[in-house]
Amino acid sequence: MNLFTESNLSPDILKAVGELGYESPTEIQKQTIPFILSDIRDLIALAQTGTGKTAAFSLPILDMIDETSRKIQLLVLCPTRELCLQISKDIKNYSKYMRDIKTTAVYGGSSIMDQIRSLKEKPQIIVGTPGRVIDLINRKALDFSAIHWLVLDEADEMLSMGFKDELETILSETPDTKQTFLFSATMNKEVERISKNYLTNPHRISVGSINEVKKNIKHEYYVVGYRQKKEALKRLIDANPNQYSILFCRTRMETQEVADFLMQNGYAADALHGDLSQAQRDTVMKKFRLKNIDILVATDVAARGLDVNSLTHVIHYSLPDDPEVFVHRSGRTGRAGKDGISMALIKPEESRKLKQIRSATKIDIVEKFIPTGDDIIKAQVEGVFEKLFTEHEEDIFEFNDSLIPDLSAFTKEELVHKLLQFQLKDLALYYKDKHDLAEQKLSSRDDDYSRRDRDRDRGRDRGDRDSRSRDGRERGGKPRRKDENMVRFFFNLGKKDQLKKLDVLDIINKATAGKSKKRAEIGDIEILEKFSFFEVEKSFQENVMSNIPSMKFKGKEMRAEVAN
């Protein structure tokens, strides 16, 4: 089956997929569609995210479904709300010309009463997350006694997110006569156990391997010290203009902190993590899909189920512990035959973790160096022309050519030069007096990166900053390296005052707000038990000194002094 038209799918389905631009099926579709159409056995299908799994199982089932019946015939379980909505939307598109087919999505974070009302329309297809499906079963709003097909999509993700009990409860509510299709990117022990307990003599289809996701992806890593990490990130983003990317962090706090840093520095970015309400998540994802923001900072869990095909970059701000997670992250770029870039920021002591990822995945991850100011300006110039020649093929608005002044005194090159100077002036001024970031190297037992330094950086990673005295020196008397453009302040509140980094950011922003539209650049924030330190751009020193004493935090007076 090299073309969809060569399959035995009905004309209504072929018409719908044709209008969606589908011509040649993907490998998973080539193998799965004929199997489901002709075989009654259960199925285990192993394929990476973004390979067309939804069409692989839904097209043949739509071909066989009984449109005249008002009972639920297909249940699709998936790990996240975003994936649930995406699958539901796809199935509705595929069944566009099947007028009697109804599909309903059920998921947490939205009104359960609204979903119960939609179930009264008697849909034949339910797409749901395990938690909400359990809730609806308990309310007697869902009856799976007549289902013919059960699909477990992203089974490994559902199990890793702790849905094992929910899955087993739902499976026990379904008839033994159903056909079960398990789709997963990996076959770990839990997935294997589920398949043994709930699938009968399953046929297996395996498409690709852990390495095939990376065919169109360049993998790069940059070694950078803890204190230089945010500045290094800024340089990587500036050196890769016109990017549309997801930036992965390990924790919710780190995700919000990095997103705040990027937004404060003028980037179109936002955060996606578990502390956001469903309404906030929806807003962030809508902005990202519409490309109103071009950098999404996310945790691995929050980003599951996101289906965005045009990502240019994936940035690993923090390395994951599991090599497979690194693969899944990276595989979000380089889709639909396009090239992608995966960039990882590596701390000097993370050589073992990087070695494990390389060994397990067989990925060639190439070391690169943090771009210099000259590198960034060169990349930005190239980015201007890339955007100029690819984005707007037609005139968007009209104006009278007489408004253009006489330019005959300038050559073409002089005009371009002036326009580029105007376009990139602010960025060039920022990097003009900036020193290049210190070259780092990965540590090992054989180099001169000492155990003391490794322990120090591990302490930083744990958030343990108490080894520093009030003036910002290490206990051994070694002074911190300073950024000449930043001022380090001692702040009289700390953890005992329930102070958090977001509070400090808010305090600094209020203290430095003024008539000028320029926002203060904020550096490291270190919250200790009884006091804290933070760094602010030098030109805002007086604002901090004069305004913070007049403010209060939860009724407590605040004081900021320059740390010597």
- Alpha-carbon distance of 49 to 397, in angstroms, equals 41
CATH of the domain at 512: 3.30.70.330
- Within this chain, do residues 148 and 129 fall inside the same structural domain, yes or no? yes
Q: Which phi and psi angles does 103 have, rounded to 5°?
A: -125, 135
Q: Which of 372, 392, 416 is the last residue of a domain?
A: 372
Q: Is residue 267 located within the same domain as residue 168?
A: no
* CATH number of the domain encompassing residue 173: 3.40.50.300
Same domain, 279 and 400: no
Strand-by-strand arrangement of the 340-346 sheet: 269-272, 295-299, 245-249, 313-316, 340-346, 217-223, 365-368
Is residue 448, in this structure, part of any structural domain at all?
no
DSSP label at 360?
A: H
Do strands 556-557 and 552-553 pair parallel, antiparallel, or not at all (unpaired)? antiparallel
CA 50, 271, 157, 62 dihedral sign is negative
355 touches 363 (CB < 8 A) = no
* The 3-state secondary structure of 511-534, one letter per residue: HHCCCCCCCCCEEEEEECCCCEEE
Instruction: Judge if 321 and 409 occupy the same domain.
Output: no
417 falls within a domain: yes
State whether 249 and 330 are in the same domain. Answer: yes
357 and 421 together in one domain? no
Task: Give residue 438's pLDDT.
Answer: 62
- 252 near 275, Cβ under 8 Å? yes
Answer whether residue 449 is part of any domain: no
- Token couple for 410: 């300038």
- Beta strand extents in 12-64 (DSSP E only): 43-46
Examine the domain organization and report whether 324 and 246 are in the same domain: yes
- 31 shares a domain with 126: yes
Residue 305 confidence (pLDDT): 61
Burial (CB count <10 Å: 0-12, 13-18, 19+), residue 409: exposed
- C-alpha 54/C-alpha 58 separation (Å) is 6
Query: Is 230 found in the same domain as 202?
Result: no
Q: Per-block average pLDDT, block size 10, for the chain (564 residues)? A: 78 92 88 94 85 91 94 94 89 94 92 94 95 94 94 86 88 92 84 88 80 72 89 94 93 92 92 84 88 92 73 93 84 80 91 88 90 88 78 67 78 81 79 72 47 42 38 41 76 88 85 71 84 88 89 89 80
| DSSP string covering 75-101 | EEE-SSHHHHHHHHHHHHHHTTT-TT-
Q: Which two tokens stand for residue 468?
A: 């520093």
Which pair of tokens denotes residue 155?
């089974």
In a domain? residue 50: yes
* Cβ contact 171:164 at 8 Å: no
How far apart are the C-alpha atoms of 129 and 163, rounded to whole Å?
Answer: 9
Distance CA(246)–CA(305), nearest Å, equals 13
Identify which of 163, 149, 156, 153 has the alpha carbon closest to the alpha carbon of residue 108: 163
Structure tokens at 392: 């707007």
Same-domain check for residues 59 and 113 = yes
Q: Is 442 a domain residue?
A: no
Burial 497-507 (b: 16+ CB within 10 A, else e): bebebebbbeb
Domain presence at residue 248 = yes
Do 333 and 475 belong together in one domain? Answer: no
For residue 398, tell me if it sits in a domain: yes
Closest CA to 555 of 491, 499, 489: 499
Residue at 17 is within a domain = yes
Enumerate residues 6+ apart whose C-beta is below 8 A from 407: 415
Angle at 181 between CA 178 and CA 184, to 5 degrees: 155
94 shares its domain with 26: yes
CA distance readout (Å), 372 to 231, 232, 429, 460: 11, 10, 14, 26
How many folded domains does the chain comprise?
A: 4
Is 0.85 surpassed by the pTM of this model? no
Tokens 């179109």 found at: 268
Q: What is the domain extent for residue 513?
A: 465-562
